[in-house]
Structure 1
Amino acid sequence: MAGGTSIWISSEAKTDPREIFNLRLLYLLVAVAWGGSFYGFDTGNIGGILTLPSFKNAFGLNDVSQAEQDNRKGTIASMLAAGGSAGALLAAPTSDYIGRKWSVFGWGLIFVIGAAMQMVADYDVLLAGRFIAGMGVGASSMLTPQFLAENSPKSVRGSMTATYNLMIVTSLMLAFWVNYGVAKWSFPGVEYDDMQWRTAMGIQIIPGGLLCLMIPFVPETPRYLINHGKTEEGLKNICKLRKLPADHEYVQTEYREIMAQVRHEQEAFQGHNYWVVLKDVFSTRSNFQRFFLCIMLFLFHKFTGTDSLNYYAPEIFEMIGVKGGSTSLLTTGVYGVVKTVVSLLYVGYLVDRIGRRLPLLVGATLQGTSMLYLALYLRFAGASTSSPGNGTPAGGIVGIIFIYVYAFGWSFGHSVACYVVAAEVFPTRIRSFCMSICFFVNWIVDYGITRATPNMITEMGWGTFLLYAMLTYSGVIFIYFCLPEMKGRSMESMDDLFERPLWTMWKHAYPTEEEKVRRDVREDILTGKPPALDDSDKTHRVEHVETA
């Protein structure tokens, strides 16, 4: 249920108590995962909207030179990413100080405001709206995987966290088809009818409203509560989410692991301010290795060129010989369908059965190969081989197939892995800070690529795709040596894993049964040692946090 079909497939899920897969967990999953639709709709609709005659007329794109058109298109598309980088940074303090739950709610409201502003036919208001909505998208891109990972049973944590990405690609697909539908409108004066582009633009307000309506009824994450001294409330929420009593072995194991990690962190560093957290990240080898790994995963995630395809897919299809207008939008819509279907396969089957590592290696290799074909085709044949009367040339048809292969590889590779890994690999104490920096890098690189793509395609042509291919292949090498498998491990057991050098992770990629639980907690359970915190220690812990 909560993790799709993975519950019936994953060996870990089969041995879990059936009570933990309940309707409360499903409601939480649906409510929070709407955050993925922010990114999907806002990314998917703008590329097609930029090609609509009504949009060009409303914003004066027909009255400027090609260079100015490229600049304006790049600015409009990339303003979302600019806001996203700001939102990703601001999400960390809101997550740490007002909690995960109300941060998700607040940034959802900000997204709705920005989405509504984009409905105004004014260039400056459109840019401001895309920036404000981008802040909501960027914050949600950090908060949503974090919230899902912190509330998930470990056996379906990958599936639940990856649901955020499933919502991205599903919304991306729907946005592509909405664009195709409005592009087919045919009546006198359609090029002057603002309803055409506003219909495509306004669809994104729906998931924002649903998230804001549903979030108030989900519980705060137990890890946040326990990390901030609210141990009894944290244990209560574990029981509420798992539908098990406090003395159940499953609840006690999860509770003990969270408490052990909190105790270890607070013994090493006192306080939650960001100067202390910063020292914790850069002075502790285990933490720094995790931070470096996730930063590199997000960089290679963007270096595959996915943003160029998402934002400018219709124009890229035209480059390889697909006729313009609704035909290129139709081809783009099929591209979205491929992404969605493969993402369903990943979330429902691969992520909690095969894992994160192997699908990412295979998917990234497919992406690099697809980009390499596009580069070679445009270099040695190019769209010049096509003409209006002859349709798409044979090499262009193969190019379309390779773009769909790219979508296939992306959807069970880079599309999901960096989000899932970043959400599950960090200790609770530094998770918000590290994820915030990771997503800031994600969005600032997104901004640069999106802003530069129209100019890159005009100036570099085939070289754009060759660059993406080489960067993607470089990422495959890094992932092979440095990314361990997270499937089946508890979030707290990552401390033990990353005591090893990062470049040797390929030797320890797959966990043994003993490595799936934090070492000190496993030893306590084996020796029958009771929970470490009695009532007096709980009081001390609360006073300690409040004083810090």
Structure 2
Amino acid sequence: MAGGTSIWVSKDAKSDPKQIFNLRLLFLVITLSWAGCFYGFDTGNIGGILTLSSFQKAFGLNDIPQAELDNRKGTITAMVAAGGSAGALLAAPTSDFLGRKWSVFLWGLIFVVGAALQMIANYDVLLAGRFIGGLGVGASSMLSPQFLAESSPKSIRGSVTASYNLLIILSLMLAFWVNYGVSLWPTDSGDRQWRTAMGIQLIPGVLMCLTIPFVPETSRYLINHGKSEKGLETICKLRKLPADHPYVQIEYQEIEAQVRFEQECYQGHSYWVVIKDIFLIKSNLQRLILAVMLFVFHKFTGTDSLNYYAPEIFALIGVNGNNSTLLDTGVYGVVKLVTTIFYVAYLVDRIGRRRPLIVGALLQATAMLYLALYLRFSPTTSDSVGGTSAGGIVGIVWIYIYAFGWSFGHSVACYVVAAEIFPTRIRSVCMAFCFFINWIVDYGITRATPNMITEMGWGVFLLYAMLTYTGVVFIYFCLPEMKGRSIESMDDLFQRPLWTMWKHAYPTKEETVRAGVITDKLQDDEENEVSNNKDHSQVAHVESA
């Protein structure tokens, strides 16, 4: 199961009841992770598809000026991000009113419709299909991590939530290799070539829609909407433990305590009330700023430029031939996948989110800095007679190092952190805003990248390097470690100023659970013990009498 390896290496997971790591949780993880697949396929296949002669012929990209070609490429690629920004915002009300489960189903259907439209060889229909598909991708990118975080045991919450990102990387890698495979087909294969590469994203979309009806609604959503008994029943069903088990009771009491606190302090679920809670309560605002900045720096690493335009970037550093650039792109995807598996299975719930993110971002920034300096001082072109130069080969290696750093850093951390830190009452709205920022920045970068590469050249990579180094400084001072903390305990953590989080980055044992929950339980146990001792004393006294 996703994160399954963490069960054996995570100290917290070893002390948990073994029943909570069960097939029901595995089924839930697989179902929600299909959303990561259609996100990854769409991201990974479009860059390669744009280089296919059959696609260029079908959509009239063969004989047009370079500036027009750059604009069309940018528009085709960025339409998913444009739809994604709208979908991320629209996912919040559907998540709160329809529930997490049926929202995922609804937006999955919308994605399938958009993916089907992309199979039609018409430029305007293609743009419409990519926008509609982007609505589903953007909404699911918010809903799936939220659903996974709310449903998973806290000892493996990082691994479970990151399984969504693992499937993004897996499908990204598969899309790269599908593009390479169809590029080897005969030139007379026609539209079948690009339609095969484009249509593969329909598979995970359909599978998710077929399996999501069999997944239970999250207990946090149910309890927050006045269905406490149903919420407790869901916890018992998902954990495979009875209602009176201490593990179930602590999880249930934490959620109940958080909901009671919110209901006592704040009235109503209207969006005006929720927005006031976000911006007027200091701890909530700090959480939103942290999550938004993580997504901004996540995009400023330049990953979208590499994902969408990897073949062109490999050609820029001297890789010859379309097949060769697609092959190197495929290897780039493999490096990402292997590293992400290692991160999800081992790092995220053993080492945590913070340290891998800092190290990974430093590797990414340095890789971008090398590419900038190489292109500045040793310019090369893809049609150099002698093949790729030694400096270009080193550049390829640095791109793979970039993929390595990305996969246990920015690839996953922002998704996991955003899903963990917000209270249930405001989680949907805050995550929707975070993912809106994510997608709108994605749109700007992917739309501008072809023009930026043509106009700026090496300056693009220098810009990404400097922005990523800046992000490392922010992460060091402002990002605390989330590993081992319950979602409800974040309230206590963010009472402190954001810029002092580095001083409190790693929690004590008491800080892993919401303040008062364990204390109350211990007091109850002590009172019961005193009562029992008193009863025994009375019985002994009567017997002696």
TM over 0.5: yes
Q: 2:212 is paired with a residue of what secondary structure?
A: helix
**Counterpart pick for 2:490 among 484, 491, 494:** 494
Q: How does 1:161-176 map to 2 (within 5 A)?
A: 161-176=161-176
Q: How does 1:338-353 map to 2 (within 5 A)?
A: 338-353=335-350
1:15 aligns with 2:11: no
**Counterpart pick for 1:418 among 408, 414, 424:** 414
2:138 maps to a residue whose letter is G
Q: Give the structure 1 partner of residue 537 of structure 2.
A: none
- Counterpart Cα distance in 2 of 1:134 and 1:263: 37
Q: Deviations over 1:198-219 (max 9, x none)?
A: 0000000000010001000000
- Counterpart Cα distance in 2 of 1:462 and 1:77: 22
CA contact (8 A) 1:159 1:348 kept: yes
Which range moved further: 514-523 or 295-304?
A: 514-523
Q: Give the structure 2 partner of residue 371 of structure 1.
A: 368
CA contact (8 A) 2:2 2:344 kept: no
Q: 1:89 is paired with a residue of what secondary structure?
A: helix
1:318 aligns with 2:322: no
1:312 CA drift (Å): 0.2
Question: Of the two, which has the highest radius of gyration?
Answer: 2
Q: Give the structure 2 partner of residue 108 of structure 1.
A: 108
2:431 maps to a residue whose letter is M
CA contact (8 A) 1:314 1:324 kept: no
Q: How does 1:477-492 map to 2 (within 5 A)?
A: 477-492=473-488
**Counterpart pick for 1:396 among 374, 392, 397:** 392
Q: Deviations over 1:6-64 (max 9, x none)?
A: 00000000000000001111000001110001210001000000000000000000121
1:407 aligns with 2:400: no
1:387 CA drift (Å): 4.5
Identify if the C-alpha distance between structure 1 residues 325 and 451 changes in structure 2 by more than 3 Å, giving closer, same or farther: same
Q: Give the structure 2 partner of residue 29 of structure 1.
A: 29
Q: Give the structure 1 partner of residue 51 of structure 2.
A: 51
Q: 1:109 is paired with a residue of what secondary structure?
A: helix
TM-score, structure 1 length as denominator?
Answer: 0.95
CA contact (8 A) 1:2 1:21 kept: no
- Counterpart Cα distance in 2 of 1:268 and 1:58: 60
1:342 CA drift (Å): 0.2
- Counterpart Cα distance in 2 of 1:37 and 1:408: 20
CA contact (8 A) 1:2 1:25 kept: no
2:104 maps to a residue whose letter is V
- Counterpart Cα distance in 1 of 2:77 and 2:279: 35
2:106 maps to a residue whose letter is G
Q: Deviations over 1:291-349 (max 9, x none)?
A: 00000000000000000000000000000000131110000000000000000000000
- Counterpart Cα distance in 1 of 2:4 and 2:74: 38
Q: Give the structure 2 partner of residue 259 of structure 1.
A: 256
1:361 maps to a residue whose letter is I
Q: Deviations over 1:54-113 (max 9, x none)?
A: 000000001211100000000000000000000000000000000000000110000000
**Counterpart pick for 1:503 among 459, 483, 499:** 499
Q: Give the structure 1 partner of residue 223 of structure 2.
A: 226
**Counterpart pick for 2:241 among 222, 241, 244:** 244
Identify if the C-alpha distance between structure 1 residues 2 and 308 changes in structure 2 by more than 3 Å, giving closer, same or farther: closer
**Counterpart pick for 1:285 among 267, 270, 282:** 282
- Counterpart Cα distance in 1 of 2:518 and 2:504: 19
1:526 CA drift (Å): 1.9
- Counterpart Cα distance in 2 of 1:113 and 1:224: 28
- Counterpart Cα distance in 2 of 1:35 and 1:63: 37
CA contact (8 A) 1:166 1:340 kept: yes
CA contact (8 A) 1:361 1:480 kept: yes
**Counterpart pick for 1:304 among 301, 304, 326:** 301
Q: 2:489 is paired with a residue of what secondary structure?
A: helix
Q: Deviations over 1:457-483 (max 9, x none)?
A: 000000000000000000000000000
Q: 1:5 is paired with a residue of what secondary structure?
A: helix
Q: Give the structure 1 partner of residue 267 of structure 2.
A: 270
Q: Give the structure 1 partner of residue 291 of structure 2.
A: 294
Q: Deviations over 1:100-140 (max 9, x none)?
A: 00000110000000000000000000000000000000000
Q: 2:496 is paired with a residue of what secondary structure?
A: coil
1:2 CA drift (Å): 5.0
Q: Give the structure 1 partner of residue 63 of structure 2.
A: 63
TM-score, structure 2 length as denominator?
Answer: 0.96
- Counterpart Cα distance in 1 of 2:303 and 2:3: 26
- Counterpart Cα distance in 1 of 2:502 and 2:125: 49
- Counterpart Cα distance in 1 of 2:193 and 2:10: 46
CA contact (8 A) 2:318 2:384 kept: no
1:523 CA drift (Å): 1.7
Q: Give the structure 1 partner of residue 470 of structure 2.
A: 474
Q: Give the structure 1 partner of residue 74 of structure 2.
A: 74
Q: 1:365 is paired with a residue of what secondary structure?
A: helix
Q: Give the structure 2 partner of residue 200 of structure 1.
A: 197
- Counterpart Cα distance in 1 of 2:39 and 2:439: 11
Q: 2:125 is paired with a residue of what secondary structure?
A: helix
* Structure 2: runs of 5 or more not aligned: 527-545
Q: Deviations over 1:148-190 (max 9, x none)?
A: 0000000000000000000000000000000000001125x24
- Counterpart Cα distance in 1 of 2:383 and 2:102: 55
CA contact (8 A) 1:303 1:471 kept: yes
- Counterpart Cα distance in 1 of 2:69 and 2:6: 47
- Counterpart Cα distance in 1 of 2:340 and 2:226: 38
- Counterpart Cα distance in 2 of 1:2 and 1:248: 25
Q: Give the structure 2 partner of residue 213 of structure 1.
A: 210
Q: Give the structure 1 partner of residue 151 of structure 2.
A: 151
Q: Give the structure 2 partner of residue 444 of structure 1.
A: 440
Q: Give the structure 1 partner of residue 41 of structure 2.
A: 41
1:388 CA drift (Å): 4.2
- Counterpart Cα distance in 2 of 1:405 and 1:326: 22
CA contact (8 A) 2:2 2:345 kept: no
1:427 maps to a residue whose letter is P
Q: Give the structure 1 partner of residue 378 of structure 2.
A: 381
Q: Give the structure 2 partner of residue 540 of structure 1.
A: none
2:479 maps to a residue whose letter is L
Q: 2:243 is paired with a residue of what secondary structure?
A: coil
Q: 2:291 is paired with a residue of what secondary structure?
A: helix
- Counterpart Cα distance in 1 of 2:157 and 2:424: 15
- Counterpart Cα distance in 2 of 1:456 and 1:346: 32
Q: 1:389 is paired with a residue of what secondary structure?
A: coil
